[in-house]
Each structure stands twice: as structure tokens, then as C-alpha cells.
Amino acid sequence: MPIIRVAHLEKLFGHLHVLKDVSLTVEAQEVVCVIGRSGSGKSTLLRCINFLEQPTQGTIEVDRLTVAVAQHRLSKEQKQIIHQIRLCTGMVFQEFNLFPHLSVIDNLIEAPVTVKGMPRDQAIVIAEKFLDKVGLMEKRDEFPTRLSGGQKQRVAIARALTMEPKVMLFDEPTSALDPELIGEVLEVMKQLAKEGTTMLVVTHEMGFASEVASRVIYMDEGQIIEEDTPDQMFTAPRDQRTRQFLDRLLRTN
């Protein structure tokens, strides 16, 4: 049983058809990277999986929690399941989304305390464990304004891990970083992959995808065009659109 299963997902923003009959699975402890040009629907896909965006139609299943959307209004039972899905999915955004008025440690414990009802002392122990994992224990009492972009993103990863999710979703986690800071974030993600963390990653970092991913998915115009192992995808893609995208990316870099 896959830990993530998306079936026939559709998403419309007004008349704009952003996702078109998207289906995919992710197995436990698998790392799947999603690539494609800007505007291809990659970020919307992630946001639909944890219902930051409500799908127009389709089925989302995370850790055997299933919501089938066939109409605009969700039932009370569906909303309860969505809450459970959000509890078991950690999300890391492009722009960090840290609370600027809270210290690093308070950013980390906010969700466990307010959403899970965890005692503050217990939440701090868990938060410190993950701060140490991302190499930022010495920044425990700093505020986000005093951190570099790479440090902010590592704090954001630790914050997501503090909820102890079953799945980690990464939405282009290095795209807002200066080039010299990208490596420190990717190293944390590589370590998570080695430890068996289930990850669905939207990324433009082809080196990371080649090294870490179990599978790579190429999206274009709201559809999954091709998916394969990194070796096959990056050396001999089958679809012309995939080849054109990768050729253009290699020329740019």
C-alpha cells in the first residue's frame, strides 16, 4: 500500500485548468522528485495533497487516510480526515514561512503545542532533537531576522519534523536561496533520505534528484508527462517535451 496515492486529480482556478487528471503514488521511505518548468502545476500538486488547496476533483490518500473530492463542499467527516492528513504531512515552503516575532525554538514548538496539545516541555525536547539534526542548536534562541536564508530553511525543515510526520513535502526548498547556501539545505535533505524519510520534492536541483530520488516525475501544463528512475530520466528521456526541458536546463546551467 503506497503511503501517498493521488488518483485523477483535477484543479481549476476559475477557468484556469492547473492540474489535469494527475495520478501518482509514493511508497514509504521513497524519495520522489517532481521537475518541470514554472507554471506546470508542481507546487499546486503538493498543496492539494495536504489540502492547502482544495482539489476540484479526485482522490487523495495519505497513510490510509482518504478523501475523495467530487463536489465543491466537503462533508464534516472529510474535513476531519483532512485535519488528520495535515498532521501526518510536513510541508517545507520556498519562502520559509517562519514567524518573525517568535524565536527559533518557539517557531518549532508552536504547532505541537497548539495543534497537538502537547505539553510545552515535551515539545521543546522534540524540537531540540530536530534542531540538532539540522545543525542549528546554537541558534535556538535567535529570531529569524538574524538567520541566513540557508539557516531559515533548515529551521523550517526542523519545524516540519517536530510534528513527526509520516511524509515530508518540499516545495522548491532551495529556490529562494543564494547559490552558496543551497548546499547546506540539500545536505540536510540527503541525510533525511538516507534515514528513510518519505519525501515528495518539487525541485530544480537536478544533481540532488539524480543522487537521491527513487523516481523522477516530469510535469508540463498540469499533466504528468513522464516518470522514471533518475538514470533513465536524465540520460534517455522518452518524451520529446522532457528532452526539450532538460536540454534547456542544461544549457542555462
Query: 30-65: per-residue pLDDT in tens?
Result: 999 999 999 999 999 999 999 999 999 999 999 999
Cell triple for 208: 540532488
pLDDT tens by residue, 181-222: 999 999 999 999 999 999 999 999 999 999 999 999 999 999
Query: In the prediction, which pLDDT does 159 show?
Result: 96
| CA nearest to 192, candidates 130, 122, 124 | 130
pLDDT tens by residue, 118-149: 999 999 999 999 999 999 999 999 999 999 99
Residue 175, number of CB atoms within 10 A of its CB: 14
pTM of the model: 0.94
At 70, the pLDDT band (50, 70, 90 cuts) reads confident
* DSSP character string of 143-209: -GGGS-HHHHHHHHHHHHHHT--SEEEEESTTTTS-HHHHHHHHHHHHHHHHTT--EEEE-S-HHHH
Q: Is 94 exposed, middle or buried (0-12, 13-18, 19+ CB in 10 A)?
A: middle
